[in-house]
Amino acid sequence: MHYRALGTTGLQVSEIGFGAWGIGGDAGGAIAYGPADRDESIGALEEALERGITFYDTSDFYGFGRSETLIGDAFFDRRSQVVIATKAGMLPDGTLDFSARHIRESAAASLARLRTDHIDLYQLHSAPIVAISDETIEALESLKREGIVKAFALSARSPQEAKLGIERFGFESVQVNFNLLDPRAVECGLFELAQKKAVGVIVRTPLCFGFLTGRYAASDAFHENDHRRGWDRAQLERWASANALFSALIDEVPGQTPAQFALRYCLSHPCVSTAIPGMLTAAQVRENSAASAMQPLDTAMRERVDETCRRHEFFVAKPQA
């Protein structure tokens, strides 16, 4: 496993991180990827640390606290070996609250579930720029001064919002969607700005909700609490069929899986600190973590990928920036 600086936060993170939305399961009716088995989730977390994955991204919203609890149970006695990032601001009903009071109360609850005395990276969860106030920033600064959090960041709704977060509030780290099929972070200038200002970038959905693994079809019967069930069928078909466009490039490296190729593409952008695929099983951890040892795609290969992407549109309706 290779490691990278998370911007100027002072944190060093594994370039393949552990996206922990899925292990939260559907506790309390939460929407993620359907039910998650506790023992299997703990096994995946333990396998991840064994493979050198040190960065774990969660939220108090994932499984309404269950994801944090699992991470706490897995690592409470090895806390110094992991970098834990969690989030606040998204309520169980989907509304948002970034008031100082809520941020403080959420931090205290997260610490208890994580079984720790500090949070390495505390992120505003899908915070619109218009919802971030001086009060919000002061609450985060206060938590940092008190040693409750080491650094704070923005987990943005879109790459454009992340760019605005850097420009207006000086966030040292941002989290955004980015993958082979979603180039918005490049197109809007976010990656260029992050590189210029040494801002850490956490890439979520690097496998496009699993479709870049080549293992899912639009016709799959997703669980009622799997968020993919709520996507338009035409969108799912476009994502599911896109993987074939890269098959010849993937096959140039014997034994390389589609997931590993997709992760290597994300890591080929120098501003990316870590890519955080969602992982539910030890087998998924082994496959994804191996992408780090394979090194990022070289410039020539990345240009071939980008040329393929320019010839196709992967969104039925392009998402708002």
The DSSP code sequence of 132-184 is --HHHHHHHHHHHHTTSEEEEEEE-SSHHHHHHHHHHH--SEEEEE-BTTB-H
Rounded Cα gap, residues 151 and 121, in angstroms:
5
**What's the pLDDT at 5?**
98
pLDDT in tens, the chain (321 residues): 999 999 999 999 999 999 999 999 999 999 999 999 999 999 999 999 999 999 999 999 999 999 999 999 999 999 999 999 999 999 999 999 999 999 999 999 999 999 999 999 999 999 999 999 999 999 999 999 999 999 999 999 999 999 999 999 999 999 999 999 999 999 999 999 999 999 999 999 999 999 999 999 999 999 999 999 999 999 999 999 999 999 999 999 999 999 999 999 999 999 999 999 999 999 999 999 999 999 999 999 999 999 999 999 999 976 654
Residue 316 lies in a domain: no
Rounded Cα gap, residues 126 and 177, in angstroms:
11
The CA R_g of the chain, rounded to the nearest whole Å, is 18
**What's the pLDDT at 122?**
98
Residue 321 lies in a domain: no
Rounded Cα gap, residues 5 and 7, in angstroms:
6
Residue 204 lies in a domain: yes
- Number of structural domains (the chain) is 1
Task: Please name the residue that has the structure tokens 């191996």.
Answer: 290
User: Which residue range is the domain that position 19 belongs to?
Assistant: 3-310
> Would you say 294 and 15 are in contact if contact means Cβ atoms under 8 Å apart?
no
Cα end-to-end span (Å), the chain: 33
Residue 320 lies in a domain: no
**What's the pLDDT at 317?**
74
> Would you say 124 and 87 are in contact if contact means Cβ atoms under 8 Å apart?
yes
- List the CATH number of the domain containing 8: 3.20.20.100
Evaluated on CA atoms 297, 301, 302, 308, the torsion sign reads: negative
Tell me how far the alpha carbon of residue 75 is from its chain's centroid: 19
> Would you say 33 and 280 are in contact if contact means Cβ atoms under 8 Å apart?
yes
Rounded Cα gap, residues 177 and 155, in angstroms:
10
The two beta strands, 55-57 and 3-5, are: unpaired
> Would you say 225 and 29 are in contact if contact means Cβ atoms under 8 Å apart?
yes
Task: Find, among 151, 121, 75, the residue nearest to 276 by Cα.
Answer: 121
| Residue 255: Cβ within 10 Å count | 8
**What's the pLDDT at 90?**
97
> Would you say 19 and 186 are in contact if contact means Cβ atoms under 8 Å apart?
no
Rounded Cα gap, residues 56 and 43, in angstroms:
14
Residue 319 lies in a domain: no
Residue 318 lies in a domain: no
Residue 35 lies in a domain: yes
Residue 315 lies in a domain: no
pTM, 2 dp = 0.97
**What's the pLDDT at 321?**
44
Q: Where are the alpha helices (DSSP H) in the chain?
A: 38-50, 66-75, 100-114, 134-145, 159-169, 184-187, 190-197, 233-242, 247-250, 258-267, 282-293, 299-310
> Would you say 123 and 156 are in contact if contact means Cβ atoms under 8 Å apart?
no
Task: Find, among 89, 90, 109, the residue nearest to 99 by Cα.
Answer: 89
